Amino acid sequence: MDRVALRGLRARGYHGVFPREREEGQTFVVDLSLGLDTRAAAADDDLTRTVHYGEVAEAVVALVEGEPVALIETLAQRIADACLAHPAVDEAEVTVHKPEAPISVPFEDVTITIKRSRG
């Protein structure tokens, strides 16, 4: 399976369990790795036979900026579902970073990574 990857998609969202997160928002970062067969697209040099990563990026940012959820697990699932809605995509690995998570000790990042496939 071939891979199309997008790394470091950034958007401001209002996801979280705590009221402050819902009111003030924070930056979320998303990494994607999409599994698909690109042979037909490459043979015909045809964008319609692969996934348009620009459209995927816009959809992911819209989800991060959209309806708030309590858990980044839920956000990651919504992103994976949106990726799998593209006919060419057979598999999606999604990592959601929450670098401004409300944690009382020094830390660099909090992430959730999920891998979903058709069927």
Q: Among this protein's residues, is 98 annotated catalytic?
A: yes
Q: Which of 7, 98, 103, 116 is catalytic?
A: 98
Q: Which residues contact 117 (CB under 8 A, 6 or more apart)?
A: 35, 84, 90, 91, 92
Active-site residue list: 98
